[in-house]
Amino acid sequence: MEDKCHIDMLGLMILCSLLTGSSGGTDIHVFSSDGGNVTLPCDNAPTGCISSMWIYRREQSSETVVLFKNGMKENGIERGERLSLVSDCSLNIYKATTEDRGHYTCRQLEDHRFDTSVYLHVLHVSPSSTQTEIRPNSSFTLSCQLYVYNVCSRYDIFNAEGVQLVWVNKAGVNLKPDPRFQISSSPQHCIITLTTTLLNEDNNTEWRCQITDTTDQVKTSVRYTVTYLAPAAETTQVNLVAVAVPVVALLTLIALIALWLICKKRARADNEAISTLTPVTPPADDVHGKKEDVAYAEVIISRKKFTERHNVQSNNEVTYATITGAGPRDEGL
């Protein structure tokens, strides 16, 4: 079995040598997370990129696409809105996707000996479960895959450079020694999976798939946060509370306005009651010619559709009061 593996590896090395040629240059491997921004270097570029061009080769294709030439972006290129050059002629890719993986070359038009060959690899994480299936006590699997240019670049990064895929928690601790997690990997397919049974406390827990080299330096990583859907009953209760609060506030406001209007109406009615005091002509002398030392006063209280007259007589000994109520028929008097 080991002999067969060595023969396969030797055949792979020969195949890669034939495919890539022997330019004598150094290949640069760049790693990016799915959705992240990445910059591809360009060595020995002239000022202003006036004699530089960026070329892109798709996987399993001999055709190349010119992205930039003489510092200018080519018209009509695919994903052109996400590509740009920086001051040193490096190529910037905004929100890289797995479709951006491939072989990029920064070529110096005056001397091809200074070409920079860059292989872009993109790391992507996906769950095997749908959102509705992600809940406590259920089995959960995350698959992490590194999308590479071709089989030759896969051999280079996993064997020649010692790159490996690992699963870690938020604190960066490797999850493989933890018996709760089952970690399986397939370097020949650039895949590593994490399988576990979810617990209640795993809600909003973050796990990361990352690429490290022989010095444990992290090349890139992708985060995945476990999120549980709220139960239907809890969701309904939250919705009811959200509706009830503004309704209660509105009813309280209406009640306060109604109370204010009632108080205002009562105050207006009280202001309409006007009391006046008018002098009354004293009666004539009695038949004996005797004058009484009596003071007279008439009090008139006016209200809507009702008038009261109060005749008050006073002497030193007795005070007399006569109250006459005017009904609806007396209003004209």
Query: Could you please report the per-residue DSSP string of 123-157?
Result: EEEEESS-GGG--TTSEEEEEEEEE-S-HHHHHII
pLDDT at 160: 67
Both 115 and 25 in one domain: the answer is yes
Sort strands 164-169 and 206-212 into parallel, antiparallel or unpaired: antiparallel
Say if residue 19's pLDDT is above 70.
no
Domain assignment present for 14: no
Assigned domain for 12 exists? no
Are 94 and 83 contained in the same domain? yes
Q: What is the mean pLDDT of the chain?
A: 77
Residue range(s) defining the domain that contains residue 240: 231-271
Whether residues 57 and 114 share a domain: the answer is yes
Regarding whether 45 and 72 lie in a shared domain, the answer is yes
Given 82, 99, 121, which residue is the final one in a domain? 121
Residues 155 and 93 in one domain: no
More reliable by pLDDT, 88 or 208 = 208
- Which of the four pLDDT bands, split at 50, 70 and 90, describes residue 298? low
Rounded to 5°, angle at Cα 97 from 95 and 103: 110
Q: Please report whether residue 11 resides in a domain.
A: no
Q: How many domains does the chain divide into?
A: 4
Phi, psi of 68 (to 5 degrees): -135, 145
Of 35-44, 243-252, 286-295, where does the model show the most confidence?
Answer: 35-44
- Residues 62, 73: one domain? yes
**Could you tell me the pLDDT band of residue 4, with boundaries at 50, 70 and 90?**
very low
Q: Give the residue among 126, 138, 124 at the shortest CA–CA distance from 229.
A: 138
Residues 71 and 46 in one domain: yes
Reported as a pLDDT band with limits 50, 70 and 90, residue 34 is very high
Spatial CB neighbours of 144, under 8 Å, sequence gap ≥ 6: 123, 124, 125, 165, 167, 191, 192, 193, 194, 209, 222
Residue 5 located in a structural domain:
no
pLDDT at 311: 52
Cβ count near 296 (within 10 Å): 14
* Pair 174, 195 in one domain: yes
- Residue 4 placed within a domain: no
Whole-model pTM: value is 0.64
Q: Quick: pLDDT tens for 221-260.
A: 999 999 998 775 544 454 565 666 777 788 888 988 888 8
Residue type, 84: S
For residues 158 and 193, state if they share a domain: yes
Q: Please check whether residues 59 and 79 belong to one and the same domain.
A: yes
Q: Which of 121, 151, 169 is the last residue of a domain?
A: 121
